[in-house]
Chains A and B, each alone.
Chain A
Amino acid sequence: MIYLRIEQIGGDPDAIQLYRKPIATFFLWATGIEILSESQRFDWQSDITRHRYLELWDRIHLTSPAPAAIYLDAFFSYVDVDYDRVTEYPGSEEGARVASLCLLRALSGIDPTSATLEDIHKSYVAVIPRAANFDGLRCYHAISAIHAVLVRNRMRRFFDWANYKPRALEHIFFANTLARVVRKREWPKKVPRWLLRFVIHSISYDPQPPVSIAIDCLTIIAADLGCDVSHPGASGLSGRYARL
């Protein structure tokens, strides 16, 4: 019922703004269930496929950036910041991970020049220091990517992918999110090095990652080479999740 109601709200920015809290809560919950656990505990109606769910995810978040601020608040509620050291509260590891993934995904759809992104940036830097240390966090890679997108600290160019071994769906979700980050922005010279490191790391899996990840990684490479990847055909979601 909740799902169908959100589908009805669909492309109405005012309605999303009005119902942003329940919508964001729903997506935090559903993302945790669907993307991270892969346990199929989510009792979907037979006609609501994962593909449709992810399409809805994008439709809602591309229509309105309203849920992004809620994901940021959710993330703050799961972590403690002591000088530059960021740690998760005991028992909050999964929550921080889901919130950071949702926040990164929401950020990837926001126009980089928009006032919304500026607001989120202000809220973020008010809590997280520029030289924040995320070592040891379960959401290390997602929050490092968020930090790189929002703060653009040069130090984060070198963040480490060696221990990034997500499950398949999370990897797909993450790769597609990063490809959207790249597509949404203009890169007059180069895309950040950490993105290219992710690209090389992603193909190093055994067995090979799904084709969806390969296409998203190629999109990042193409952007760095100066190809126009801004059109949806370069790394759209549609159709590819259906093959999972």
Chain B
Amino acid sequence: MRRFASRSFGFEREVRSSLTAVDLSNRENSGQPDVLSLISEKLETLVTTADLNQISSKYKAITAFFPYAVWQSKTLDAFLLAVRTSKRHGFMWRCIRPLIATLLNKESHVSLKQAVILASPHLRWRDFPNSKELVKLLAAAASAIPYTEEVGMSVVDTLLQIASNDSLRSSIPLDMWSWLNERPSLPAACWGRYLGSRQNVVRSIRRLEDVETLKSFLLLVWSEWDGLYSEGLQEMSFSIQLELGKPEMWHHREDLLRHLDHILGQLDIGTEHLRQRDPDVNESDIQRRKDQYETLREVLLEVEMEATEILTRKPLRLAVPFHLLIPMDRHEVQLDIYVCNSSPVSIAAYPGYS
């Protein structure tokens, strides 16, 4: 992941002169520490001492600092470090919402948009049931800033959190889902990854009818750091059977199996490793996660076996054009019919793609 310090903050010279870093730092009382430095140093101290309770209890003050922190890379780094260390879901105070919309406005400078994008995973999205316009502004801002791993990580985290919110999901622009295909390395503490395993999120992604996006999504949300929602797990199994069952999908299945093997390997290491993320994690949590990822592995292997079986029965002939459109789960699925004309003669149907 790129370090924050490497970001370009040339905008500091361009922003309105009334609130520049120079003005805030060069105080008339040169012998005294300026207040901006006091706050940054305080935040760094809280992070260094890992005083999570203290950081969490100060979420209102830290949120109030955000609009002032966005103007300098150093202060923004201090802010982001504090909120990321807190690990609290929806760290930022809801009072910031009107300002977030202002900063994401299309006339706003690209670096301000970037600052909001980086902070966006820490907004309490569940508090914004009627913020469809804000989601659209966020999507537009995300596409307007240069891609970095850090930006990708923040956008994906936020996207999955928004998607888990029933009232906001429909306002996600279609092209925003393609951020999943960037597959950034999500941090150990990532609320989007956990909430993204909800059934409705999985179903929404399956309905995009884009195998690449579905695979990227699964690679992102499957992690040793988090378990899965049980309904989400069922939906994932169904999606794999439905979307990844065709013989030519073998490379997707292979990638997913490799990823699952890695996760199961990590879970075998034990609790100490996982307690870095969550000090309260225990053996039963880990066993539950193992069971979930084993289940998914079995589903993938089963699908793989069925696909292999089709391929090994020769000669295989595709009866084209013979498609059935059947209503399934309130969604039309196109079926390709495969006919094996060697003995024994059999007919198989798999979801097709037009």
Contact = CB atoms under 8 A, between A and B. Distances in A.
Interface of A: 190-191, 193, 196-197, 199-200, 203-204, 206-211, 214-215, 217-222, 224-229, 231-236, 238-240
10 contacts: A196-B61, A200-B67, A203-B99, A204-B102, A215-B35, A217-B64, A225-B62, A229-B38, A234-B35, A235-B35
Interface string B54-69: 0001101111110110
B42 A222 contact: yes
Contacts of B35: 215, 218-219, 222, 227, 229, 234-235
B24 interface: yes
A158 to B, nearest CB: 11
B61 A238 contact: no
Contacts of B99: 200, 203-204
B137 interface: no
Given A200-B99, A211-B24, A222-B42, A231 B32 contact: yes
Given A211-B20, A221-B68, 6 more contacts: A190-B58, A190-B61, A215-B24, A215-B35, A229-B35, A238-B28
A221 B28 contact: no
Contacts, number: 104
Given A211-B19, A211-B23, A233-B27, A227 B42 contact: yes
Interface string B7-51: 000000000101110011001110111111011001100000000
Contacts of A220: 64
B42 A225 contact: yes
B98 interface: yes
Nearest to B29: A233
A200 B63 contact: yes
A209 B68 CA distance: 12
Contacts of B16: 207-208
Contacts of B34: 233
Instruction: Provide the main secondary structure of the chain B interface.
Output: helix
A233 B68 contact: no
B61 to A, nearest CB: 4
A220 B58 CA distance: 13
A183 to B, nearest CB: 11
B328 interface: no
Contacts of B27: 215, 233
A225 B43 contact: yes
Contact of A222 (B20, B38, B67): B38
A193 B93 CA distance: 11
B269 interface: no
A167 to B, nearest CB: 15
Contacts of A199: 64
Contacts of B57: 190
A221 B42 CA distance: 11
Nearest to A238: B28
Contacts of B64: 196, 199-200, 217, 220-221, 224
B24 A206 contact: no
Nearest to A219: B35
Contacts of A208: 16, 18-19
Given A200-B99, A206-B102, A227-B39, A218 B24 contact: yes
B107 to A, nearest CB: 10
B5 interface: no
B110 to A, nearest CB: 17
Nearest to B19: A208
A200 B95 contact: yes
B100 to A, nearest CB: 10
Contact of A224 (B19, B33, B58): B58
B96 interface: yes
Given A208-B16, A208-B19, A221-B65, A236 B28 contact: yes
